[in-house]
C-alpha cells in the first residue's frame, strides 16, 4: 500500500497568445485555454510554457499547488514581459531567449511565492529552451530536425534465414526508408552568444547533409561495418556533434532519434 506523503514533481503546460493590441492581460478570458490564452484575435505570437514544481503534496488536498495558481503565475510573468519585448517600439535590441527565460523563471517563482523546479519555453513546435534550478546559470536548448534515408538491417554473422527470422521486413534485400526525426539538446551558459542558430548550423552540416536522402548502408561510411539500427544511428549522430559543439562551449546533452512516431532511441551525455 502506498505510504503518503511522497515527494512529487507537478508540471503544468500554459499556452499563450501574445498580441500587440490591448488583449492578453491576465484578467482576459479564453474560449479555448487548451489551445491558448487568451483566444487569438488577429496577428500575434503563440508560445507554450511548462512550469514544474517539486515537493510534498498537502496531506489533505493532495496538492502541491492549484492549477489556477500555476496558470496565473506563468501568465502574470510572461504576458507583460513578452508583449513589451515583442511589440514595444522603444526597444532597440532584443533580449536573447535564454536571458528572457531566466528572468521569467524568477518572476514565476515570485508569483507562486515558492521556488520552481524548471520552466521551459517552446518558441515553436520544434524549438525549446529550458531553465531548471539544478543549473540556474545555464539554459538547455533543443532543436528538432527531419531527414529521409533508407537502410537495411543485416548481421553478417547470421545466415540469410536467421537474418530474415530476426529482422523480418527490415532485412529485405533492397532495404526500406524512414522519415527520421532528430532532437538535439545542448547546454550553454545563459548569456552565451552561441544559441539556436549556431546549433542548427552544426546539426545541418554534420548530420542532415550527411544522411538526408542517402542509403545509409551504401552511401555512408559510418554504417558500412555497423548495422544502421535506430540505436546505432543515434549514437553516430551524438559522436559527430559532441566535439564540434564543445568547440563553441556548448555541452551536448542528448540526441533523440525517431525512426517512426512510435520508436526512438536516445543517447545522453554520461
User: Which residues are part of the catalytic machinery?
Assistant: 170, 213, 259
**Cβ-proximal residues to 15 (8 Å cutoff; 6+ apart), any chain:** 33, 34, 35, 36, 37, 46, 47, 48, 49
Q: Are 185 and 254 in contact, with CB atoms under 8 Å apart?
A: yes
**Cβ-proximal residues to 265 (8 Å cutoff; 6+ apart), any chain:** 229, 230, 231, 233, 234, 256, 257, 259
Amino acid at each position: 500500500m502506498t505510504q503518503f506523503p511522497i515527494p512529487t514533481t507537478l508540471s503544468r503546460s500554459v499556452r499563450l497568445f501574445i498580441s500587440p493590441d490591448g488583449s492578453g492581460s491576465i484578467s482576459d478570458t479564453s474560449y479555448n485555454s487548451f489551445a491558448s490564452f487568451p483566444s487569438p484575435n488577429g496577428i500575434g505570437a503563440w508560445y507554450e510554457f511548462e512550469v514544474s514544481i517539486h515537493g510534498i503534496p498537502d496531506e489533505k488536498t493532495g496538492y502541491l499547488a492549484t492549477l489556477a495558481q500555476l496558470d496565473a503565475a506563468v501568465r502574470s510573468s510572461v504576458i507583460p514581459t513578452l508583449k513589451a519585448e515583442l511589440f514595444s517600439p522603444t526597444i532597440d535590441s532584443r533580449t536573447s531567449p535564454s536571458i528572457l527565460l531566466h528572468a521569467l523563471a524568477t518572476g514565476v517563482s515570485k508569483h507562486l511565492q515558492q521556488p520552481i523546479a524548471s520552466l521551459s519555453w517552446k518558441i515553436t513546435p520544434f524549438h525549446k529552451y529550458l531553465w531548471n534550478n539544478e543549473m540556474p546559470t545555464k539554459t538547455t536548448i533543443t532543436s528538432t530536425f527531419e531527414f529521409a534515408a533508407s537502410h537495411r538491417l543485416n548481421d553478417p554473422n547470421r545466415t540469410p534465414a536467421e537474418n530474415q527470422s530476426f529482422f523480418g521486413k527490415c532485412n529485405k534485400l533492397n532495404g526500406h526508408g524512414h522519415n527520421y526525426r532528430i532532437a538535439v539538446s545542448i547546454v550553454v551558459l545563459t548569456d552565451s552568444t552561441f544559441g539556436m542558430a549556431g546549433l542548427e548550423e552544426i546539426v545541418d552540416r554534420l548530420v542532415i547533409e550527411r544522411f538526408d536522402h542517402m542509403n545509409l548502408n551504401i552511401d555512408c561510411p559510418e554504417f558500412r561495418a555497423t548495422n544502421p539500427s535506430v540505436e546505432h544511428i543515434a549514437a553516430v549522430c551524438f559522436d559527430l556533434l559532441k566535439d564540434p559543439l564543445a568547440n563553441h562551449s556548448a555541452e551536448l546533452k542528448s540526441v533523440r532519434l525517431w525512426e517512426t512516431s512510435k520508436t526512438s532511441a536516445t543517447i545522453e551525455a554520461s
